[in-house]
Structure 1
Amino acid sequence: MALTALTALVLAGCGAGGDGSGGGGSAGATGTDAPIPAVAEDDRLAALVPDEVKRDGTWVVGTDPTYPPNEFTAPDGTTIIGMDVDLGTAVAQKLGLTARFEQSQFSGIIPGITGGRYEAGISSFTVNPERTQVLDMVSYFSAGTSLATRKGNPDGIDPNDLCGKAIGVQQGTVQVEDVQARNKKCTDEGKPAIQVTELQAQTDVTLALNSNRIVAMLADSPVAAYAQTTTNGAVEVVGQPYDTAPYGIALKKNDGQYAQAVQGAVQSLIDDGTYKRILDKWNVGNGAIPTSSVNGG
């Protein structure tokens, strides 16, 4: 289904689109099963949560669990785990709620928030101006885009020149916008077009790389690094991350002091060390931020 320009920009998520400073969110391990200790409720912050959110005591969160290590399914095929899940669980506890993560296609999360199905979206959403026009977003992490190839980069892929190459990206991410912009530059300069493969899930993109259907993929830096580790090096990150930007918890726009409650919860977790324990658990500590904000403020 075709998307309007604004909707397409809003849905472009799982990815960075920021300041070009590089770095951010390198991951290097599969994570552990170790639970994060429960955190105590903050009565002051809990009082800021809208009545319709806290009435049943459950925080309903939409997520697309195909983006390890941030959100993905456990070996049982049902349980949703990951860095975002642990953080969302702790935020809910800080607000006196119990988080319930519901699986969704990535493109369905934002409409689910605006339509009232979800009370939040936590799924590696990049904070950008287009998205904050229709949502409130609470920052909690910093990630960039990375290029990954098969082990040893056998096709000699230059991260700065993808013209004529078969490149994979996940649908709806800012990596799609990135590769489209790169492709236009290629064709404008009379070079071969990039052969872009867009797949619904990041796990499908990684599989396409491993099965030689593409020669490289673009993905968020922690996701690319995680793929390198979990494939025992069959996937290799080439070059440095670029276009770093914050991830944000997506919330209904202008819903009382809801965004301030969630921002306060994230900041409290940063201050008390819970945040660091969660990031360290998933080996994504390089993406830590010192201060959480609402809508990039």
Structure 2
Amino acid sequence: MTRQLTRRALASCAVLVAAGATLAGCGGQNQPSATSSETPAATTSADNSLAALVPDAIRADGKIRIGTDASYAPNEFLDVDGRTVIGMDVELYDAIAGKLGLEVDWVPAQFGDIIPGVQSGKYEAGVSSFTINPEREQQALMISYFNSPIQWVTQKGNPKKVSIDNACGLRIGVQKDTVEVPDLQDRSKKCTDAGKPAITLDQYPGQDTVTSNLVTGKDDAMTADLPIAVYAVKQSQGKLELLGEPYGNAPYGIVVGKDQAKFAEAIQKATQAIIDDGGYDEILRKWGNEKGAITSEQVQVNPSTP
């Protein structure tokens, strides 16, 4: 997404939804599973030196409990069984956890509830395409692992003649609590300052709803993180297209509690390890997101904070 304080996928009428649900009235076709036996996830063996960095309280049960918004394909979404969380972020963090000798318990949650859940101890980490920004870094520790710009999407042929720089008077769909929201608010203010109609921001809890409402024409365009936008178009069976070029370059971060500096260090080093051994690139290639790759030197804890 490029998600803001909190952020987000996709679907076409025929596939609706990354969340694994079928859109009523769309012929009952399900989105194919992204966990194909032809493209298995990279496997990761534990590194004892990295595993030793994990705090005892987290290592005790051999699992990490992760909060995630499973509506944000292809990064995190529900498989066709409606229960299993899959996606790029899922495979990346599974590989990171594997380096630490841990398994992952993926818990679907509303995006805006994840950081508070990490703060309260409900989750031991949050992995949900969180954009790193100073406000979030005041709430948690964030370990960078990917970069994503913002991308606009319209119906095929752009029937409403949407322009990224002049969407005044149009309805634009966006996921609540994402970085796309203030971007649209700034663009809307430019409209009203120029004496033009404001942009109507249609904000929805899940990216699946954002995408389906664009497919059905309720909204004139949508904005989302680049991987989500590209995947939405691919899954739309020709109903959607990308609009213009992506812009911005927002880093994604894994979220842990402010008091978990040792755990953050363990995740940082494990992330660097999967980059160094090639597993990271393998996962990004599988999901078509190579352009967002970062180097092991760019993996940092709270990189926006001096």
Alignment match, 1:64: 69
Secondary structure of 1:176 counterpart: helix
Letter in 1 for 2:103: T
Alignment match, 2:20: none
C-alpha change, 1:10 and 1:54, in structure 2 (3 Å) is farther
The structural deviation recorded for 1:203 is 0.6
Task: State how many pairs are aligned.
Answer: 276
Asked whether the 8 Å contact 1:32–1:281 carries over to 2, the reply is: no
Segments of structure 1 that go 5 or more residues without pairing to the other structure are 1-8, 16-28
- Structure 1 segments, 4+ long, off by >6 Å, are none
The structural deviation recorded for 1:31 is 4.5
Secondary structure of 1:123 counterpart: strand
Q: How does 1:2-41 map to 2 (within 5 A)?
A: 11-14=5-8, 31-33=34-36, 34-41=39-46
Q: 1:243 aligns with which of 248, 258, 265?
A: 248
Secondary structure of 1:295 counterpart: coil
C-alpha change, 1:10 and 1:217, in structure 2 (3 Å) is closer
Report whether the alignment pairs 1:112 with 2:117. yes
Letter in 1 for 2:240: V
Alignment match, 2:18: none
The structural deviation recorded for 1:188 is 1.3
The structural deviation recorded for 1:254 is 3.4
CA distance in 1, matches of 2:82, 2:194: 46
Secondary structure of 2:265 counterpart: helix
Report whether the alignment pairs 1:279 with 2:273. no
Letter in 2 for 1:254: D
C-alpha change, 1:81 and 1:163, in structure 2 (3 Å) is same
Asked whether the 8 Å contact 1:30–1:69 carries over to 2, the reply is: no
Alignment match, 1:89: 94
Alignment match, 1:229: 234
CA distance in 2, matches of 1:194, 1:63: 30
The structural deviation recorded for 1:166 is 0.8
CA distance in 1, matches of 2:213, 2:8: 18
CA distance in 1, matches of 2:113, 2:187: 27
Alignment match, 1:203: 208
RMSD over aligned CA atoms reads 1.7
Segments of structure 2 that go 5 or more residues without pairing to the other structure are 10-31
Asked whether the 8 Å contact 1:14–1:173 carries over to 2, the reply is: yes
C-alpha change, 1:283 and 1:10, in structure 2 (3 Å) is closer
Secondary structure of 1:140 counterpart: strand
C-alpha change, 1:172 and 1:256, in structure 2 (3 Å) is closer
**Structure having greater relative contact order (Cα 8 Å, sep ≥ 6):** 1
CA distance in 1, matches of 2:5, 2:57: 25
Alignment match, 2:175: 170
Secondary structure of 1:60 counterpart: strand
CA distance in 1, matches of 2:243, 2:269: 37
The structural deviation recorded for 1:181 is 1.2
Deviates more, 1:65-74 or 1:184-193: 184-193
C-alpha change, 1:293 and 1:30, in structure 2 (3 Å) is farther
Letter in 1 for 2:272: Q
Report whether the alignment pairs 1:146 with 2:140. no
Q: TM-score, normalised to structure 1's length?
A: 0.89
The structural deviation recorded for 1:13 is 3.5
